Copies of this chain bind each other. A is one copy, B any other.
Amino acid sequence: MAAEKEYDLIIRNGWLITMDAAGTRYPSADIAVENGKISAIGSSLPGSGKEEIDAKGNVVLPGLVDAHMHMTLLRGIGDDLPLMRWLYEVMFPKDAQIQARHIHAAAIMNQAELIRGGVTTFLDIFRFPSESAAIAEQSGLRGVFCPQIIDEPAGAGETLESNLAFIEAWKDRVPERLYTWFGPHAPYSNFPETYAKIAEYAEHYDIGYHTHICETEDEVRQIKEKYGKSSVKLLDDVGALNPRFSVAHGVHLSPEDIELLAERGVGVVHNPSSNMKLASGVAPIPELFAAGVKVGLGTDSNLSNNNLDMFEEMRIAAFLQKLYRKDPSVLPCEQVLRMATMGSASCLGMDHMIGSLEVGKRGDIIIMDMHQPHLYPLLPEPNTNVIEQLVYSASAADVWTTIVEGRVLMHERQVRTLDWAAAQDLVVEMAQDLISRSDIWRRLGREA
């Protein structure tokens, strides 16, 4: 008699919402992971797992993908300021003083939050990416790291050179879990030639790149005045638009911009909380979908959101379009859940490996604790309201278990891979240090 099959991980009896192309859901099924990949889905799978989790009728989802965020530290400092005061008295002074140790502390805090909120893959565009990547080695999350290159003003960010050095240093360090990309900041802070060079380098290294685009009306005006065209057209004219490229925000896009993004296969990452908080505007999400653009979802950062709760982000994405279009049927909940999973995965060029629960894909899985008052009544299949409850009522705090490549990063809300309790004092100390170095309290008229 053959030995019993042993998997690395089996989740039993889950309500599987696969987010595959057909939208398949299993009211009760097992899902097994072997060598980091989903190797079986079915009822009462024979065999055993080195780790077995009983999902007891709870919901099993593909891990959420936060396709645009910054590993920032100073949550809740300088909120509610007019935009120019915020930029000149908080953001720029802070960015000029930031050091690797600040990012180290921020990365522990942010990655602990991501794990607790069911995010299994994130794209981080910011400073000192080695610090964040080193924490991700330990946290077990899947990450894409984009050193944030700023040409003007010089010294405000990473450089093309530091980006290249980072790629060289990390390219083989954690294959297929930690990715090194290029991170040009924005068309108003980078030269068009930088985008042109990056497009070539990206092809050479076979990697992606990511930028901010058309976030504010100011940017649109400024680029138009300087170059006589839109940011999207500008980057297309230097050969930078292609499927390796994903852009964040895309709030102020013309129909021609949208057409170009669709033709060139560029993904757009929507950040609705940030766009509301910073008064940027409302992105044309239905038009992007209609044009066939890949659309993902991101939290932007704890400075502009102020949390990394992708459930809240889904809810706000839907509500904002309903309000803005004066039609409650716009952007229905299943489409929003798809944005946060397959949509974001395709913006990262990873839709073949994550974003849905399918055999052969990576074992990036979350389990939701559904038996709570705010998720009831929970109706069984086939006439269920499970997607409605997840998108319109759930929050990050309802994530029970977070798994990447079959490794359990959190279970029963206990994070296993990062020691948050031990890091709390360090996070406050580093925040105080950065505030003090950048003289923020004095700039804001408070006593230090």
Residues of A within 8 A of B (CB): 73-77, 79-83, 86, 109-110, 112-113, 116-117, 273, 275-282, 302, 305-309, 312, 316, 318-320, 322-323, 325-329, 332-333, 371-374, 376-379, 382-383, 385, 388-389, 392-393, 395-398, 420-421, 424, 427-428, 430-432, 435, 441, 446-448
Contact = CB atoms under 8 A, between A and B. Distances in A.
Contacts of A424: 371, 376
Contacts of A396: 374, 395
A306 B393 contact: yes
A73 B323 CA distance: 24
A19 B447 CA distance: 23
A208 to B, nearest CB: 27
A279 B328 contact: yes
A333 B389 contact: no
A373 B80 contact: no
A277 B82 contact: no
A168 to B, nearest CB: 32
A131 to B, nearest CB: 16
Nearest to A392: B306
A306 to B, nearest CB: 4
A337 B312 CA distance: 19
Nearest to A387: B76
B82 A327 contact: yes
A73 B385 CA distance: 13
A111 to B, nearest CB: 9
B428 A378 contact: yes
Contacts of A378: 428
A79 B333 contact: yes
B74 A373 contact: no
A322 B79 contact: no
Contacts of A398: 397
Copy number in this complex?
A: 2
Contacts of A392: 76, 79, 277, 305-307
Nearest to A325: B279
Given A275-B323, A309-B395, A319-B276, A431 B379 contact: yes
A309 B374 contact: yes
Given A377-B432, A379-B428, A379-B432, 6 more contacts: A75-B388, A79-B333, A277-B322, A307-B392, A309-B395, A379-B435
Given A82-B327, A395-B397, A431-B379, A322 B276 contact: yes
Contact of A373 (B278, B420, B430, B447): B420
Contact of A282 (B279, B323, B446): B323
10 contacts: A74-B377, A79-B388, A80-B318, A273-B319, A279-B322, A302-B393, A307-B393, A316-B316, A371-B424, A379-B428
B323 A281 contact: yes
Contacts of A307: 374, 392-393, 395
A322 B326 CA distance: 19
Given A306-B392, A379-B431, A385-B75, A328 B277 contact: yes
A421 to B, nearest CB: 8
A41 to B, nearest CB: 26
Given A275-B323, A306-B388, A80 B329 contact: yes
Contacts of A280: 323
Given A322-B278, A323-B279, A397-B395, A109 B376 contact: yes
Interface centre among A377, A382, A424 (most CB of B within 10 A): A377
Contacts of A373: 109-110, 112-113, 116, 420
Contact of A377 (B75, B332, B395): B75
Task: Name the 8 nearest CB pairs between A and B, nearest first.
Answer: A397-B397, A76-B388, A76-B385, A377-B431, A80-B332, A276-B319, A306-B392, A113-B373
A308 B373 CA distance: 10
A320 B395 contact: no
Contact of A428 (B112, B312, B377, B441): B377
